[in-house]
Chain A
Amino acid sequence: AQSVTQPDIHITVSEGASLELRCNYSYGATPYLFWYVQSPGQGLQLLLKYFSGDTLVQGIKGFEAEFKRSQSSFNLRKPSVHWSDAAEYFCAVSRGGGADGLTFGKGTHLIIQP
């Protein structure tokens, strides 16, 4: 069965600093990979996704992620965070076949210090 690990439960970053959120997955083949953001009391918004091709993926709000097959990782990055980036971030994988939906990590809570 596929699984997703987000090793960092909380991360605190100063506004303007760079950010990297870690995500490791376990899956027999190359899965479809996603990063979602959830603001308090809200639903999930898709930041970016990787299906195939270029391993560096650009998303919305200035985020990017890099797929590294050798490390089974799909880390999310942003060069300079803004206070509005404070939220919960979820990494997810899918087999792409529709059934059993997305498998999510437990999330990383991002705190932005002024």
Chain B
Amino acid sequence: NAGVMQNPRHLVRRRGQEARLRCSPMKGHSHVYWYRQLPEEGLKFMVYLQKENIIDESGMPKERFSAEFPKEGPSILRIQQVVRGDSAAYFCASSPRTDGTEAFFGQGTRLTVV
């Protein structure tokens, strides 16, 4: 049973481009969480999704950011018109439980905006 898979591991985008980050949860996990880690900071919750539904996006910036978890395929975190301040590590976690207490993390995608 593979762990949570995130790709790409590293992503470089120019200002104004779009960034797409993918997360494949562990087999049997239907709950996905996205977190952002800025340098020298802990992880900040962004969004919680179940299959085809956004459950809580209270941590997501209102503009340029969106997330989805389709019935088939990985969860996608999309950042439009990236800016330098979007440079960070983005982590995905998946859980088999509704309460999210058994969360397994991927290795993250490190986004650099140049």
Contacts and interface: CB of A to CB of B under 8 A. Distances in A.
Interface of A: 4, 6, 32, 36, 41-46, 49, 51, 90, 92, 94, 96-107
Contacts, number: 80
Nearest to A36: B105
A102 B103 contact: yes
The interface size bin for chain B is 20 to 34
30 contacts: A32-B99, A41-B107, A42-B108, A43-B4, A43-B91, A49-B101, A51-B101, A94-B99, A96-B101, A97-B100, A98-B48, A98-B95, A98-B97, A98-B99, A99-B48, A99-B56, A100-B48, A100-B56, A100-B59, A101-B56, A101-B59, A101-B93, A102-B35, A102-B45, A102-B100, A102-B103, A103-B45, A104-B43, A105-B42, A106-B40
